[in-house]
Structure 1
């Protein structure tokens, strides 16, 4: 019987003394190498034409020609808004500010802001961004509210997040942050431009997901057979989620356009397939939780084999699945609550309309959220037995007493 390398690459990054035989190791790695080659080929073939992507983005103007976006410092906020004759609150509220940059630097202006902005705690000294429209002949420039400057608090949150992750998880946390950065680059530099230039949403989602998972899993959890088994289970879960996503989007006749952003895209991007875009979103949305489940299952099987080398594979699989069932239950709650939190405004509108939820499933907004949650959950649940089976077949068989 041939023996392979033990992959003892340090605590948490190796296989903890479980020696994988040559044949299962070769089969698993051959499959992963083949998928990696297909992923690289997909990246090359689907990589967006930079010139075409730039032409699309430059053809869409956020504001009229000549408009600028100066910052301004808040002087005062008029709150509450005035009320009309019926006693209803009007969509007013005035913010006085001093322009900090541009041609009108130092000018004091008054702009109308929505009531929710005026009530959001803005006070003297805060910074907002304004839209300066080019002045008509003989008239002063016109200003309007664009948004509130939030970069300071957001940077504080981001730095605090990174420090907490590294302080608690140490090297593993630092590697996770690196993987997160790589994932962001893949989405920003590949996924979004490829979709804008008309590439298949399904293929873009599959290729991007595979590329992200190879980098994230191996960089965070180390080069080991345990990680390879988790990666194989993750890729299987991605494929299942994609298949269910394609079927469910087609069967429910979802258009992929459900809000103002979709309407903007449909007005300016002619080659974008909106159903494919929705499928791509379904695939990418489930990556984080899927990764969590598969690495846990692979680790559980490895630990069980190390603790009970005489346990038969059938019993090993059953023990791993008992752990997996508990993980499935808690993870399903995570997915449902995550979607509920993201769609809380939509749910409030449903409550406001006082209509049965089943009747509102015909709307694009609700239909998309339901399909997204269910497709991701099915792929997640099926990835548990698949990953457990892959890990069970990879580790050594039962050792005689």
Structure 2
């Protein structure tokens, strides 16, 4: 039994003990998401396939798996799903422009030795691939914030059934403000944790701060973090407004 299997078993046991059936479903969803991601990657390599469209479809499937498969179909998950897809659509417009202007697509010069034996004529649009990478990197954080806000607002409405739509919206915004700082910092430290060896290599090669900041591999990851942060900031008011509108309307008609 290798280390991956041992860690998988430990994760499954902990998620099941703490989360019960939802924890077990969350563990299973990791593998389902992995299969969806692999299928999306293979389809992107097919002639005539648009990576952006495939990414939107993949993100919709990721959201369905993370929301409906784990938490069932209800008002909270439906609202979170709608909010997620609206945010992804808005964010995609920004990311498409950013990747075109920043020219972060493709491989960096630090990777030249590794890819030297291979042909780079792979027949795919690396600008669209770059946008797809950023979107897929942000979908998890966006979905997490959406379901956190809808669940918290649901509890607020449960204990204060006569709350107005405006007060419920403001409640969601206050919840979002608490999430915003921690989630953006999580993305930031995840980058530096994953690229610690690269940063050490930069220092060992006597890269100046300017060379590090302007290197493609560093810039692409920082742009991903900023785009993810923008997505997290956007999802908060979108989810709060949609959930407040739907929840109060349903409470008034019931």
Matching of residues 320-399 of structure 1 within 5 Å: 320-397=172-249
Matching of residues 161-310 of structure 1 within 5 Å: 161-188=11-38, 190-198=39-47, 199-258=49-108, 259=111, 263=115, 267=119, 270-310=122-162
Structure 2 unmatched ranges of 5 or more: none
Counterpart in the other structure of 2:171:
319
**Partner Cα distance (2:102, 2:113) in 1:** 21
Bigger-Rg structure (1/2):
1
- Aligned pair count? 248
Partner deviation per Cα, 1:317-343 (whole Å, 9 max, x = no partner): 111111110011111111101111111
SS in 1 for 2:97: helix
Partner deviation per Cα, 1:96-142 (whole Å, 9 max, x = no partner): xxxxxxxxxxxxxxxxxxxxxxxxxxxxxxxxxxxxxxxxxxxxxxx
**Partner Cα distance (2:21, 2:167) in 1:** 34
Q: Is the 8 A contact 1:328 1:381 kept in 2?
A: yes
> What's the offset of the Cα at 1:315?
1.4
* Change in 2 beyond 3 A, CA 1:260/1:168: farther
Structure 1 length-normalised TM:
0.58
> What's the offset of the Cα at 1:284?
0.8
Q: CA RMSD in A?
A: 2.2
Structure 1 unmatched ranges of 5 or more: 1-150
Higher relative CO (CA 8 A, sep ≥ 6), structure 1 or 2?
2
> What's the offset of the Cα at 1:173?
0.6
**Partner Cα distance (1:266, 1:293) in 2:** 40
